[in-house]
Structure 1
Amino acid sequence: MKKFALITGASGGIGAATAKTLAKEGWNLYLHYHSNEQRIVELLTELENYPIEIIPIKADLSVDNGCKQIVENIFQLDAIVYSSGNAPFGLFCDLDDDTTESAIQLHVKSPIKLIRNLLPKLMRNSVSQIVIISSMWGQTGAACEVIYSTVKGAQISFAKALSKEIASSGVRVNCVAPGAVNTGMLHRFSREELENLEEDIPLRRLAEPGEIADTVSFLISEKASYITGQVLAVNGGWYT
């Protein structure tokens, strides 16, 4: 029987890596993106040799009701991987209201609304999965990333609570909490700053997107059939 997974933020580093990993495993994919259509086109080319269905969906999850376009284009669904996100950086007192509201919408309101609307489709199956890509900072907090830490912490609380409510329906809900990952989100830092960052990480390197994707793959597999309501940290020992 065909399996379908929705990956939001599929044009980003973690989202694209997750798409590649799940494609190799035979998942059919809904690939959400917002503005980076070129990356989705490239991704479709990279995945064209896999015998799967791929449905791109464009939607802006940083605005109210932005998930409507996704919901209307989802038919069969077995897994949701919420990978959309950005990281506002700077002193808390310098952040403007628009940046703050956009972050709350993208990381908290949209996943809540999206998952709520898609739950009936997930519950049709005997087993379904939801994985939210949160962050290490949602667990411990970070200076100059106060809003990002806040919304990522909210994702973790949401996943833990929802997992308890819908476990009897066969839907498992978990979070992945990466540390520093080698994606475009770190491009604002200089090479020297990144090297200093790596020195703080016990494994002495950044994570690669594929390592996060492998974690997602595990969580939506039968190997994780008794895991729900958990936060799986993938941070190189940076925060334990």
Structure 2
Amino acid sequence: MTTAASDGHQLAGLAALLADPTRARFCLALLDGRAWTAGELARVAGVAPSTTSDHLTRLVRGGLLVEERQGRHRYVRLADPAVAQLIEDLAGHHPPAPRPVRSLRAATADAALAHARTCYDHLAGRLGVRLRDALLDRRLLTDADGLALTRTGCDWLADLGVPVEELRGGRRPLLRDCLDWTERRPHLAGAVGAALCRRFAQLGWTVAGVGRAVRVTPAGVTALTGLGLAPAELTPAPPDPGRGGRA
């Protein structure tokens, strides 16, 4: 078998893993960066627990997931940031599908996710997109020849307590654009995007909400307003029960 033929079989096998709607829903749920049990994934995907084990075994064998066992419990998570990037990129090529109106509570939850959420380990939603815009506007980043940190940006990160040189030494890309599912514009991913997400939480600028939702605290509003974001951009818009979308 030629190299091209072998590569083709591998690519087809990977595509087949994600071609199943249940397995695809599992991978999308795991974009929150946590480890999930089979029962939790079965509930979020709306499938019977009896069918979940086989799907998860296929994803683990295919290298998309890794499993951890604690006593009788089996947990799975995405294998690494590269797999998360693959899932994000594939999902970003498909427009958000309208969801039927369910309740004001559900519409409020959807609005919170669209406003700010984690996308594996970095910030997404309107907050993530506007953060990237602000970093470019203040010339902390440049996209003149691919996305890159400026000297001012390196100094800003150092002052914030983000170890830039350590991030440069990792295997992960330092900076990467990730197409936002709800905004249809890029938010910031890569090692810097993940480090900012962690550091904002450590500083108390953001706190976890329901599921993947993230909420900006009063301290975060003050800090991010100083970075150039408008206060109105730091709180969710009122829910519109007449619209829906995938978060």
Q: Please say whether Structure 1 and Structure 2 have the same fold, judged by a TM-score greater than 0.5.
A: no
Tell me which structure has the larger Cα radius of gyration: 2
Higher helix share: 2
TM-score by length of 1: 0.28
TM-score computed with the length of structure 2 as normaliser: 0.28
